[in-house]
Structure 1
Amino acid sequence: MAGSRFIPDRGLTARMVTTMTLLGIVYVAFIVALILVGMPWWLVALIVVGFAIVQYFSSDKIALYAMGAREVSPDEAPELHAVVDRLCAMADMTKPRVALARSDVPNAFATGHREHRSVVCATTGLMRRLDTAELEAVLAHELSHVAHRDVVVMTIAGFLGIVAGFLTQMGLRFTLLSGGRGRDSANPALVALAVVAVSAVVWALSFLLTRALSRYRELAADRAAAYLTARPSSLGSALTKITGDIARIPSRDLRRVEPFNAFFFTPAFTKSGFSLSQLFATHPPVQRRLDQLADISRQLGSGA
């Protein structure tokens, strides 16, 4: 956050530190458990380090590729670059790379492991539906994620989930192929069951921790964007417009982008996943976000 004019958020910082500490403890325990059931420590270390290197240096490229997005120049997307330039000047922050995704789903996201390597991306559906003030508010929300460095935290948290799944499969296969010849020659079926049980606990804990952090970080980004632009009503208008239009997007299009819900400005849910989204949501309820923006609007005296 050094040098940025986005309002500091000690609550967000404390939650990020707490979440990463707890996730670290959980995954160290998970790795130790795999080693104890007989998986070689060097193999576990190789997998973790390998995934970490790939994720750290390629997370932005992977995200853009998966979304069908590409980096665009000011000549290719002058309106988008103009808004990002203006916001970066207002926030006194380094301008990230700018990308555009050819998708009718109206949304935006930011990714990247460091501020000067970050990318802010908008979809063509978002550009078509929002006016300039609304687009500025949404992109301010995304830039605040970069300024607060919570993009990095969520990327790492997601990486840990991928590693856990991969290590679980490796642990099960190693146990079954080795015939359970661990340190105590346990029955391979029992060892495999133990690996599954430990993995389930690890996944559940990491899932709950990252979802709780994700909901708070969205409120923090809304708050930072509203104060930076001094137009919370524009962010509220964009949020209302986007969530209303997403409900009319075909389910097959929503399914393609659902894996990015934790990084999106607002989640894209298909009808079938709605109940679980309320129970373990990546974002707070829309009304909660609108209520916060209304409170900020009253504080700024700008009208709701």
Structure 2
Amino acid sequence: MATSRFIKDGGLTARMTLTMFLLGGLYVALVAVVLLYVRSLGGAVVVALVAIGIAFWQWWSSDKVAMRAMRAREVTPQEAPELHGMIDRLCALADMPKPRVGVSDMAIANAFATGRSPDRSVVCVTTGILRTLDAEELEAVLAHELSHVAHRDVLVMTVASSAGIAAGLLMRFAQFGGMGRSRNNNALPAVLVALLVSLVVYAVSFLLLRLLSRYRELSADRAGAYLTMKPAALASALQKISGEAAATPTRDLRSASALCIVPALRGGGLSGLMATHPPLQQRLEQLARIQAELSRPTG
């Protein structure tokens, strides 16, 4: 019964599945182009294996890389009893393994979760968020992050990134191949085609990854809100954190990670397409609908 508290949204799941399917199609198309370009199975296998290897390394070391990027350290229950207590209660409610707990000494209010599996995950908060949020708001944020862990979002995003990694590798492969074969007029068109297709696949993959990331954030908001049964607390936390980020100088935001509960860097004119997170208003509207649903009398 407890595991069902991490509720899933069928519509969001269907859209995420479609996005993953499109990314997989891009990967297959890219491998097909490699086969045409190098005219041998070996070249396609090399590009595919290297891309998978890079993605695997990113997934395997995701917790260490993220902790290092956020200048975070693991804390014990003795060092952070209230934080551990909240995570203990939420993990018991969700019936999931307890992740490691970290604290990042950063003024910006934020939190993130990462790790290659629920058994090898870490949930980290900044000292800024500990000062900014009250207990209910912090618990709501932690529930959001634990949802990422339970749903293996790091694995999903890593697998989804393979097409973009392969496209980037093929661009380099085609560039070096083109330089080596520049005197061969017959080889030049193949090089140009490989470069063009790789560029298109990389661009489309980049946009699809951003779309998938926004879907998973909405899904984590929803799952976390139902776990705590306090969507208003998460809405309040998001508003506070977004307000803190807006007031923080841009130079101080560059050290924060896109893994966080709110995006660190402020976007430009194309921020909607490039953003890793949904607009704040969209997240608040979803939480308001959940609050109305939970407040509706039963029976």
Query: TM-score, structure 1 length as denominator?
Result: 0.87
- SS of 2:161's equivalent in the other structure is helix
Specify which of 260, 272, 278 is matched with residue 264 of structure 1: 260
Q: How does 1:242-253 map to 2 (within 5 A)?
A: 242-253=241-252
- SS of 2:5's equivalent in the other structure is coil
Q: Which amino acid aligns with 1:296?
A: I
Q: Is 1:141 aligned to 2:149, yes or no?
A: no
Q: Is 1:153 aligned to 2:156, yes or no?
A: yes
Instruction: Output the aligned Cα RMSD.
Output: 2.5
Counterparts of 2:227 and 2:89, CA distance in 1: 11
- SS of 1:73's equivalent in the other structure is coil
Number of aligned residue pairs: 294
8 A contact 2:99–2:122 mirrored in 1 = yes
1:292 CA displacement: 1.7
1:234 CA displacement: 0.9
Q: How does 1:201-220 map to 2 (within 5 A)?
A: 201-220=200-219
8 A contact 1:5–1:92 mirrored in 2 = no
Output one character per residue of 1:131-177: Cα deviation in whole Å (capped at 9) or x when no partner.
11111001101111222223321232235423432332133213322
% identical equivalent positions = 55
Counterparts of 2:21 and 2:168, CA distance in 1: 20
CA gap of 1:61–1:158, structure 2 versus 1, over 3 A, is farther
CA gap of 1:84–1:2, structure 2 versus 1, over 3 A, is closer
Specify which of 74, 77, 86 is matched with residue 74 of structure 1: 77
Instruction: State the match for 1:13 in structure 2.
Output: 13
Output one character per residue of 1:55-92: Cα deviation in whole Å (capped at 9) or x when no partner.
23212222222222232222232222121111111111
Deviates more, 1:103-112 or 1:240-249: 103-112
1:35 CA displacement: 3.4
Deviates more, 1:172-181 or 1:286-295: 172-181
Specify which of 162, 174, 177 is matched with residue 177 of structure 2: 174
Q: How does 1:39-78 map to 2 (within 5 A)?
A: 40-78=43-81
Instruction: State the match for 1:300 in structure 2.
Output: 294
Q: Is 1:34 aligned to 2:37, yes or no?
A: no
Instruction: State the match for 1:231 in structure 2.
Output: 230
8 A contact 1:51–1:163 mirrored in 2 = no
Instruction: State the match for 1:282 in structure 2.
Output: 276
Structure 2, gaps ≥5 residues long: none
- SS of 2:79's equivalent in the other structure is coil
Q: How does 1:83-122 map to 2 (within 5 A)?
A: 83-122=86-125
Counterparts of 2:183 and 2:157, CA distance in 1: 36
8 A contact 1:4–1:93 mirrored in 2 = no
8 A contact 2:48–2:166 mirrored in 1 = no
CA gap of 1:78–1:208, structure 2 versus 1, over 3 A, is same
CA gap of 1:288–1:143, structure 2 versus 1, over 3 A, is same
- SS of 1:274's equivalent in the other structure is coil
Counterparts of 1:214 and 1:119, CA distance in 2: 19
CA gap of 1:298–1:150, structure 2 versus 1, over 3 A, is same
Q: Which amino acid aligns with 2:209?
A: T
Structure 1, gaps ≥5 residues long: none
